[in-house]
Chains A and B, each alone.
Chain A
Amino acid sequence: MPEPTQPPLLEVSDFGLEFRTRSGTVRALEGVNLRLRKGEIVGLVGESGSGKSVLSYAMLGISDRAARVTAGSAVFGGLDLLRADEGTLADLRGREISMIFQSPRTALNPIRPVGLQIEDVLRRHAAARGPDLGRSLKAHAVQALREVAIADPERRAHAYPFEMSGGMCQRVMIALALACRPSLLIADEPTTGLDVTTQAAVMDLIAELARERQMATLFITHDLALAADHCDRIVVMHAGHAVESAPSRALFAHARHPYTARLVSSTPGERSALADLAPVPGQLPDLRRSDLPACRFAERCESASERCRTERPVLDADATHAVACWHPLGETLLSATAPIELAHG
């Protein structure tokens, strides 16, 4: 499959980030490569603690104060987000790049009606969006609520977050993020706690905006099946490394990283039986350790070798199906269709 020739909207290269804490330095991200094109929906999957949220916070310039960028760049429309000043980022946030946060209960202002919270975002960026908007802020806010399938949006606009269910708050959060029609949406577990029909409606809305307005979406989730359904491409993260990047179907059908394969087999599917579900062995390594193996999956991996402990495999973010592994799975299977060099023999 040929890659589109347009330059990526977001290009993260060799991104490293660490947190300085009292109990040591947490090397939260290392050598992360990621590409996101206009209109593309890319899923970012992995266990909690794999660095998915840390990565997205860094894109918005809202990292914790203990965070320090150690390497790399994240170029968005010619601007390196990792080095941009606060004023530039503040103008981008909410307008060009917006985020759906994981827990709507804590992300929404508890003492402000939800309609007004949406108006706040619209007003903040109104100047850049034409004079019409100023007059119809309220109508826009109600429309934003209607778009995320909230029944009776005129009435709900006056509600406070505590008056709404978790699912409703989640939809408000989404309405808030999409209100200014951003060109990059970072959605951190946007459908957690939503039922499947609402989940599907939310993902449809995101897909529609992706198509119509060429909005790119970085979709963070731990639900592989959901990502496979709605994302063009999936990037798998493990312990601060991006370990595999592939078109969604290919990732499911031919997972090449041993970690991806484990994740796939632990996900309940349409036909799986309870006994078939295989957990991923072990736990994420402690990222404060000074003796972390070069491949951070090495200690949980059955096919790990000495090379995995000393030499970090790098993900080629420009390849269609890339894997950061010295011993990827299914080599013989794939070598029949694509010439892939054998990493060991």
Chain B
Amino acid sequence: MAEALLRVERLVKTFPVAGRRGARLHAVDDLDLTIAPGESLGLVGESGCGKSTLVRLIARLLDAGEGRIVFDGKDLAALPAAQFARRPERAHIQMVFQDPTDSLNPRFTARDTIAEPLKLLARLGSAAIEPRVQEVARQVGLPTELLSRFPHQLSGGQKARVGIARALAVQPRLLILDEPTAALDVSVQAVVLQLLDRLRRELGLAVLFVSHDLNVVRLLTDRVAVMYLGKLVEVGPSEAVFRAPRHPYTQALVSAIPGQGPRIKLGGEITSPVDPPAHACRFHGRCPRGEDRCGREAPALVTFSAGHSAACHFVGQLPAPRAAEFDS
């Protein structure tokens, strides 16, 4: 495999819990992840599983507890988040936020919004900024006559394009998309997804794509990583993970995608993310496959076919039931 653009190693982030001295909420726990140049990686999991924390760590908006975030050979975890905004690496990792309305400054025109990162990071002369703004606007299909409009004068799809243009302006190498279409209508979503896919291919961008919409993740990513309570439980080629998920949690997740066959229902108590037992599988208690061993021994990620790994004691025995269902 080519040298990774981003390599997350043994990353840990815990938060103190209000009113409980010494208790820690484990948001990201000993997590490893890589993204190759030009690769699109999907990140999925329940709300509260630590996706957003992981994204904020990688985007360096949040300081890591332990572990390394190696970007292009350099460990970024060592840099305090407060200083990162002024580092040249800031331009290399850019983010498109969830809600295009909330994430745009209402007092900035589209032009101001797109020019802002150029002024702060690109060190362009003021004469060079406008041509670059126009160029990015063209790339994202935003008519240049809309550049002087304020967010409230733009439609949802146009605002989404402004958010994407802002991220692309400084020519990032890694683009983080946090639910980029969740706030959009399906009619507009289709266009924005096609735009993102085209941009990624044309610009050779690596993409970390966070979404609850698994159908969208499947369409837009090469590989997908599944998180459960701060841990990575499965990672592999998107096609394989969606066709034949191996971890029981992924199987439940994939079966819950609307518009298809029988759904695996999860019962049981959800393990609390506050000081979870160190020697138990986090999914134990909800897992339809769980045995006593799962309560005593935390499973490690095991690779069982090219680039496809899962953290489950029974991964070798799990028959990948959904593949058989689909084929019949």
Residues on the B chain within 8 Å of A230, using CB: 258
Question: Residues on B close to A: CB < 8 A?
Answer: 18, 44-49, 52, 155-156, 179, 182, 185-191, 193-194, 197, 212-216, 219-220, 252-253, 256-260, 263, 265-266, 269-274
Given contacts A149-B270, A266-B190, 7 further A-B contacts (CB under 8 A): A48-B156, A193-B182, A198-B46, A230-B258, A266-B189, A269-B215, A269-B259
- Give 1 or 0 for each of A200-211: 1 = CB within 8 Å of chain B CB: 110010000000
Residues on the A chain within 8 Å of B219, using CB: 268, 272-274
CB contacts between A and B, total, < 8 Å: 114
- Give 1 or 0 for each of A153-192: 1 = CB within 8 Å of chain B CB: 0000000000101111010000000000000000000001
Contact at A277–B190, with CB atoms within 8 Å?
yes
Supply 30 A–B pairs (Cβ within 8 Å), ascending by A. Answer: A47-B185, A47-B187, A48-B156, A151-B271, A167-B46, A170-B47, A195-B46, A195-B212, A196-B212, A197-B266, A198-B46, A199-B256, A200-B256, A200-B263, A223-B258, A225-B215, A226-B258, A229-B258, A229-B259, A230-B258, A263-B187, A267-B186, A268-B189, A268-B213, A268-B215, A268-B219, A270-B259, A273-B219, A274-B194, A280-B187
Which residues of chain A (211-255) have a CB below 8 Å from chain B?
Answer: 222-226, 228-230
Q: A262 in the interface, Cβ–Cβ < 8 Å? A: yes
A273 to B191, CA, bound (A): 13
A165 to B46, CA, bound (A): 11
List the 9 closest A-B pairs by CB distance, nearest first: A167-B47, A277-B190, A225-B259, A280-B187, A225-B258, A151-B270, A268-B215, A196-B256, A200-B256
Within the complex, the shortest CB–CB distance from B56 to chain A, in Å, comes to 13
Contact at B189–A163, with CB atoms within 8 Å?
no
Within the complex, the shortest CB–CB distance from A108 to chain B, in Å, comes to 16
A299 to B215, CA, bound (A): 31
Residues on the B chain within 8 Å of A48, using CB: 156, 185
A151 to B214, CA, bound (A): 24
Contact at B185–A224, with CB atoms within 8 Å?
no
Which residues of chain A (14-55) have a CB below 8 Å from chain B?
Answer: 47-48
A289 to B70, CA, bound (A): 56
Residues on the B chain within 8 Å of A274, using CB: 193-194, 197, 219-220
A226 to B214, CA, bound (A): 12
Q: Which residue of B has the minimal Cβ distance to A166? A: B47
Most B C-beta atoms less than 10 A away, residue of A167, A192, A195, A273: A195
Q: A304 in the interface, Cβ–Cβ < 8 Å? A: no
Q: A194 in the interface, Cβ–Cβ < 8 Å? A: yes
Residues on the A chain within 8 Å of B269, using CB: 151
Contact at A194–B212, with CB atoms within 8 Å?
yes
Within the complex, the shortest CB–CB distance from A252 to chain B, in Å, comes to 8
Contact at A277–B185, with CB atoms within 8 Å?
no
Q: Which residue of A has the minimal Cβ distance to B270? A: A151
A195 to B265, CA, bound (A): 14
A40 to B149, CA, bound (A): 45
Within the complex, the shortest CB–CB distance from B60 to chain A, in Å, comes to 21
Most B C-beta atoms less than 10 A away, residue of A196, A198, A262, A283: A196
Contact at B185–A222, with CB atoms within 8 Å?
yes
Contact at B256–A263, with CB atoms within 8 Å?
no
